Each structure stands twice: as C-alpha cells, then as structure tokens.
Structure 1
Amino acid sequence: MTNLLIVDDEKEIGHFLSHLFTAKGYNVKVVNSGKEFFSINLSLQKFHAAMIDLKLPDTDGLTLLQQIKKKQPRCKTIIMTGYSTIKTAVEAIKFGACDYIEKPFDDIDLLEKQIDDLLEDKDTNADEHIKHLANEVGLITGKNETMGKLLHTAYKVAQKNITVLIEGETGTGKEVLSRFIHHASPRSHESFIGVNCGAISEPLLESELFGHERGAFTGATQQRKGLFEIASKGTLFLDEIGEASRSIQVKLLRVLEAREFMPVGSEKILRTNTRLIAATNKHLFEAVQKKKFREDLYYRLNVVHLKVPPLRERKEDIPLLIDHILHRFPGIDISFSEDALRAILSYNWPGNVRELSNFITSIVALSDPTQNVITADDLMFSNLTSVPTPVKPQPHTITANGEHHLEHYLQNWTNHILSVFNGKEEIHLEKLLEEIKQLESKVGKAFIMKTLKEAGGNRNEAARRLKITIRKLRYLLNEKR
C-alpha cells in the first residue's frame, strides 16, 4: 500500500487531504507540527510521498523537507504554499522537492494528478522530456551540475503561471532559457514574443508593448495592437529589463498588479493574461539600491529568480556546445583536435555561448572544404585572438598571433630549410616544394588576418590595403592551411 505523509498545521486541511487520498486507497498519516513530525521514526516508517506545508508554528517546511530527503531520499515531496511564499517554494525545489502547489486548493483534480504522477514514478519520463525540449530550443546542457539544476527548476516553474526573472551575463542564453520555459508550459501552443527594452526608444517601446490608437502621435496613421494584447494567451519576454525607463516601469507595474493596461492615446482599459519573463545582464537589486530601478517592480518581477551561469563556470559543456553549433552546418564534417580543444577550454569566453558560437561559425567559414580536423595552429586565423595555443617549436607552424610569432615562425622555417640544404641526407624535392607552398599560404594568411584586424574586420577595406580584389582575398582565406 502507498504511504502518504501530510504535514500541515491547519487541521481542517489535514482532515480533507486524509479523506481525499484514503478514498483513493492510500495509507495516510497526518501531523500538524514540526514536533509531531520529529516524533516519527523515519528509519522504520517509510513514506512514498509527502505533502509539507511551508509555514508551521514551530518550524518551517524547508527544514522538514531536508530532513525527510536525508532519511528517505526516494520519498517524493510536494510543498504546499501560499502565493506570498512562492519564492521560498522555488527554493524548496532546489533543495529536492519534486513540486509545489498553491493554497487554497482551487483545483482538486490538479492536486490529485500531481500526487498520482509522483507515485507513478514519472521522473525518468520527465528527464527525457526536459532533454527533448531543451534540445528543441537549443539549450544545451551536459555534465555541469548547476545547469542541470537550473533546467529542472525552470521546468517545474514553467508549469505555473507566474512571472520569472532571469539574470546572467551577456551571451549566456537567457532568451533560450525563456523559450525553454515557454515550450515546457501549458502555453506552448500559443505565441512567444520577445522585445529588447534597451534597443528601442521610450515612446516606441510604450507603443510596442501597449499598442496605440490612430493619431495618438505623429506617424500613427492606424491603430496598432501592443504585445501585451497579442501575447495575451502566450509568453512575453522582456530582455534587458533594467534599461526600461521609469515611465515604462510604472506601466509595467500596473500590468503585473492588475493585469490591465491602456494603449497610447486611448481611454479604454484592456486586460491581458500574458505570462511575463524578464531578463537582465545587470544585478537588478543593485540598480534598486541605487534608485535606478523601481523596488516595487523588482519584487513583482522577481517571483521566481533564475541565474544562468557564465560559460567559464561550465567549461565541461563546451565540447557538447561545439557539436551542437557544428550541426547547424549540414554537409560540413569538421572536428577539433585534442590540442585545439585544450586551447579552447583554456580560454575564459567573456562573451559566453554567443562568443563561442561566433567563433565556431568563423572557423567553419574560413576552413578549407577538404579540411576535416581543426588543429591548435588553425586557431590563429580565427577572430579569437586571445586563445592560447600550445607552443611546440616546429619548422612549419605559426604558434600564435602577432608579428613576434610570425618572425619566430620564419626563423624556424629558415633554419629548417638551411639544415636540409646543408645536410647529407637525401633531399625529397617534391616535399620541399610543397613546404614552400605552405610557407606562401601561411605567411599570406598572416598578413591578411593582420590587415583584417587593423581594418576592424572590414574585408573590402582590408582588400584595398592589400592591393588585391575582395574575390582574391576570399580565395586566399579559403586556401588550404
């Protein structure tokens, strides 16, 4: 028989839940305080599932959750919480709770389904579903524990119609995570719309979000719906929320508090049911302390707080990310040598996943169609000038960027040729002439990349400075290295 533990200080709720689940054939035990909970011998009495209220008169639910997960790690747990403690409930998920449900219980069928799903041991299926959804939106996670926990927490909160605030450095994948939340939510069949609050001026952003009436301002030749109306049943993603003006912040607060807004130039109040996800690359609480962001709006946005780790803190996922990026190029069969991967892993990636993606794209674009393996020496021709490559003095390799290393390469190559010329061994002339061609290619590319860097990446300007056509420049870049 299935054993279910219920911990709630409200005896009426305890009686109701006991009656509900006893009728379903469960063996239910109800306790009304932390003292009663600790009187249970968890070493002898096993529970398959536990429903724990977050607020108890003599303790808190998180303490009981940690205790039961320590004594009975296989016990499935659901946290019961009021709206005001949802943030703590999300923390409970990070501590190992399987889910949470809001009190009062408006949907008894949902409550029964949550318990039934837990006891049917759907965790394995859930893990597969999470991986499938993550791959669909391009959210790649591998061995990094922090990313794994983040993904599971995001999956849990996706099921709830609550606001989420995502923080993380530029390029970490905040929008990708928001898309994952949308696809994992009951709104997945509705629209997902994103807007960058820092990329649009205040008047245009107001019109974009709330819509406008015809004639509301110069150029408003017709009525236009705003994103809060268009995405009313879906998800609205507000990127760089910290860049929103004070005026926009006030209007956003109104939407979050009352779920209503007025289009620009209108006196008509419209309602919205959009699910809001906001993101920022700033520490938003610091902006609140500096009076640059409204405190009341911050707490409205920060119902659930998710932080995406920078790439330098999840380097073990880089090989998987590289494979994912390479799959964007059908027909391209390229891999990276061990030395190249070591060089890539030694770099800190200040631009995070976005920088890695641009780097791999650059490598693919500049590689010869017949080249299948990218070596550490090839990395010097990318835009990633800070990648340290292994220094192995060889006669025909350029070990890094810069004039010093080009000089070092030429000296090594000259010494190599002279040693062959002065040596007594047989000379393989064809091989020697091939090395001369490699010299021409390597030196030519070194000059091209130096000029491209000086020209800010502008190929037309680089071709002009080199006195060659842009077609010739592209041809030389695509020569075999």
Structure 2
Amino acid sequence: MINLLIIDDEIEIGNFLSRLFTAKGYRVQVVNSGKEFFSINFSLQKFHAAMIDLKLPDVDGLTLLQQLKKFQPRCKAIIMTGYSTIKTAVEAIKFGASDYIEKPFDDIDLLEKQIDSLLEDNDKTAHETIKSIAHEIGFITGKSEKMEQLLKTAYKVAQKNVNVLIEGETGTGKEVLSRFIHHASPRSQESFIGVNCGAIPESLLESELFGHEKGAFTGATQQRKGLFSIASQGTLFLDEIAEASRSIQVKLLRVLETREFMPVGSDKIFRTNTRLIAATNEDLQEAVKNKKFREDLYYRLNVVHLTIPPLRERKEDIPYLIEHLLQRFPNSNITFSDDALAYLQRYDWPGNIRELANFVTRVVALTDSNQAVITPGDLPISYFAISSHPNIGRTISKKSEESELESYLHRWTNQVLTVFNQKEEISLEEILDQVKDLEAYVGKAFIMKTLKDVEGNRKEAAKRLQITMRKLRYLLNEK
C-alpha cells in the first residue's frame, strides 16, 4: 500500500486531501505543523510520497523538505504553493522536490494525475525525455552537474504556464534554453518566436511586439500583426530584455498584468495567451537599483529564474560541445587529439559557446585536409596561452603572457620580412590579411590581459582600454 504524508496547516485542505487519496487506496497521514512533522518516527514509518505546503506557522516548507530527504531520501515530494511563492517552489526542486502544484486546487483531476505520476518510477523516463528534447534542439550538456540540474529544473518549469527569466553571459545559450522550455511544454506544437530587444529601435520594437494599423506611422502601408498575436498560444522569447526602453517596459508590464494590448494606431484591445521567456546578460537586480529597469516588470518576469553557467565553469563539457559542433560539417572528418582538447580546456572562453563555435568553424575552414587530427601545434597560441578568469587553477603568469606575445610577434615579423626580401612575385592581399591577423591577435591579447586584471569585468575592461563593449566583443570574435 502507498503511504502518503500530507503537511498543511489548513485543516480543511488536509482533510480534503486525506479523503481524496484514501478513496484511491492510499494510507494517508496528515500533519498540520512543523512540530507534528518532527514528532514522526521516520525510522518506523516509511513514506512513498509527501505533499508539503510551503508556508506553515512554525517552519517553512523548504526546511521540512530538506529534513524529509535527509530522513527518507527515496520519498518523492511535491510542493504546494500559492502563485506568489512559485519562485520558492522552483528553488524547492533544486533541494530535491519532484514537482510543485499551485493552490487553490482548481483541477482535481490534474492534482490526482500529478500524484499518480509522482509515485510511478518515472525518473528514468523523465531523464530520457530531457536528453531527447535537448538533442533534438542541439542543447548539448555533456557531463556537467550544473547543466544537468538546470535542465531538470527547466523541464519541470516547462510544464507550468509561468514566465521565466534566463540570465547568463553572452554566448552561453540562453535562446537554446528557451527553446528547450518551449519544446518540453504543452505548447510545443505552437509557435516559438524570438526577438532581440537591443537590436531593434524603440519605434520599430513596439510595432514588432504589438502590431500596427495601416497609416499608424510613415511607412505603415498595411495592417500588421505583432508577435504577441502571432505567438498567442505559443512562446515569445525576448532576448536582451534589459535593453528595452522605459516606454516598452511599461507596455510589457500591462500585457503581463492584463494579457491585453493595443496595436500602434489602434483603439481596439486585443488579448494574448503568450508564454513569455525573457533573457539578459546583465544583472537585472542591479539595473533595477540603478533605475534602468522597472522593478514591477522585473518581478513579473522573474517568476522563475534560471541562470546558465559560463563555459569556464563547465569545462568538462568542452569535448562534447566540440564533437557536436563538428557535426555541422558533414563532409569533414576532422577530430581533435586528447592533448588538443586538454589545452582547450585550460582556456577560459570569455565568449562562451559562441566563441567556441567560431573557433571550431575557423579550424575546419583553415585545415587543408578533410581528414585530419588537430594537435596542440595546430591551435592558435591564444587559445591555450592566455587565460583571464581569476578562478582558473592554471593561471598563466604575466611573464608567460609577455613571452607568448613576444614569440608571436617574433614569428610574424620573420615571416613578413622573409616575404619582403624575396625577389619573386608576392601577393600583397595575403600580406595585408596577415596584418589583419596581427591586429586581431594583439588586440585580443590586450583584452585578455585586461580582463584578467579586472577579474573578468567586461565593462571595466572596455573602459580601461577606451573601447566600446561592441568593439570588445568584436575583437573576441563574438560578432
């Protein structure tokens, strides 16, 4: 017989759940406080599942969850929560909860289905489903525990109709994670549409999001639907949300609060059922403090908060990522030696997966043979000699950095002088290309050194080098 533990301070709810699941043949025990929970002799009583309310008068549900997992690690747990505490419920998943459900229980059939599913031995099935969806959309996680936990949480969140905020450095794969959430959700057969809020001028972004009427502005020659209409039953991904203007933020807030919007130039109100996922490489909490981002909009977006770790914190995944990236070139049989992969795992990859993808593309393009094994000697010096992140265990000394730069400049100079002194015909275009390579290498070397000095703070590095962030990303091959 299934033993079910229910922890809720509302006696009516406890009695209701007890009757519901007793009728299904479960043995149910109800406790109404943390004190009653700690009076249970867990060495004698074994539970298959537990339903835990997040808010109790004498203790919070997260504490009870952790204690339950300590007493009985195999006991499945589902968190009961109100809308205002969904963010905490998602945190509970990270502490070992299998799922969460919102109160009040509007759909009893759904509640029963969740508990029945919880009691099935479906961990393996869920794991296989997660891997299958990730593989389908090209979201490679490798063996990183951080990424595995992130995907588990994202998979659980995908089933709920809540907004998600994804934070992470440039190039970490925020849009790919948002696609994973969409494909793992009940909306997977509907539209997924993404837009970069920082790449479109404010006047055009409003029209892009909400649509416009014919004649609403110069150039509006016909009526156009906005993304909130097109993706009404699907998912809308707003990348670089921190770049949205205050005016756009106000309009987004209204949509999130009322599910209503008005196209530009229209006096009609339209409704949308879009699921919103927003992403940023900035610290939105800091942006709120600096009055750059609306606090009320931040809390509306930040119902569920997911953070993608940078590549330097998951270097064990680099070989898997490279293997996946090489599959983009079906006519090539290029591989990397173990030594080459070891060197690449020493590098910090400040541009993250995007920089790694650019690097693999460059290697394939410059390799003469379609069947080659890339060794350390084939790698650009910068990818294993210059390291910037303060936490890396194999940080290269300033003297070594100077030595590598000096070595590169010496080789480059000798090559150019050799060509300059030869009496045969030369290709000036090739020489000028080498000059561009020199410029890129030296620029990147200075950036990496400065990033190391400022402990990876890109804004501070750009300020010290007197260049824009756009220029910094360009020189790091994050175009």
CA–CA distance in structure 1, aligned partners of residues 253 and 413 of structure 2: 61
- Quote the residue 1:385 is aligned against: 382
Partner of 2:434: 450
Cα distance, 1:402 vs structure 2 = 1.8
Q: Which runs of 5+ in 1 are unaligned?
A: 390-398, 411-443, 458-481
Alignment partner, residue 462 of structure 2: none
Offset at 1:139? 1.1
Number of equivalent positions: 414
Query: Superposition pairs for residues 229-248 of structure 1, below 5 Å?
Result: 229-248=229-248
Match of 2:26 in 1: 26
State percent identity of aligned pairs. 74
Q: 1:28 is paired with a residue of what secondary structure?
A: strand
Q: Structure 1 length as normaliser, TM-score? A: 0.83
Q: CA deviation at 1:141?
A: 0.8
Q: State the secondary structure of the residue aligned to 1:402.
A: helix
C-alpha separation between the residues in 2 aligned to 1:204 and 1:446? Answer: 42
Aligned positions of 1:30-429 closer than 5 A: 30-380=30-380, 385-388=382-385, 402-405=408-411
2:385 is paired with a residue whose SS is coil
- In our comparison, the structure showing a higher alpha carbon Rg is 1
Cα pair 2:333 2:370 within 8 Å, conserved: no
SS of the residue corresponding to residue 362 of structure 2 reads: helix
Deviation at 1:376, TM superposition (A): 1.1
Structure 1 stretch displaced more, 85-94 or 140-149: 140-149
> Distance in 2 between the 1:127 and 1:319 partners?
22
- Report the Cα distance in structure 1 between the residues aligned to 2:121 and 2:102, rounded to whole angstroms: 22
What is the Cα deviation at residue 14 of structure 1?
0.8
Distance 1:188 1:272, change over 3 A: same
For structure 2, which runs of at least 5 residues remain unmatched after alignment?
Answer: 387-403, 417-427, 442-479
Query: Which secondary structure state, in structure 2, belongs to the residue aligned with residue 238 of structure 1?
Result: strand
Q: How much is the aligned-residue C-alpha RMSD, in angstroms?
A: 2.3
Letter in 2 for 1:164: V
1:35 is displaced (CA, Å) by 0.7
- In 1, distance between residues paired with 2:153 and 2:161? 14
Q: Greater CA deviation, 341-350 or 311-320?
A: 341-350
Cα shift readout 1:230-261 (whole Å, capped 9, x = no counterpart): 10000000000000000000000000000000
Deviations 1:320-373 (A, max 9, x none): 000110111113111111221122111110000000011001111111224420
The residue number in structure 2 matching 1:465 is none
- Structure 1 residues 258 and 203: alpha-carbon distance in aligned structure 2, compared to 1, 3 A threshold: same
Instruction: Give the residue type in structure 1 aligned to 2:83.
Output: Y
Cα distance 1:447–1:385, how it changes in 2: closer, same or farther (>3 A)? farther
| Alignment check: 8 A CA contact 2:331 2:370 kept | no
With normalisation by structure 2, the TM-score equals 0.83
Change (3 A) 1:378 1:445: farther
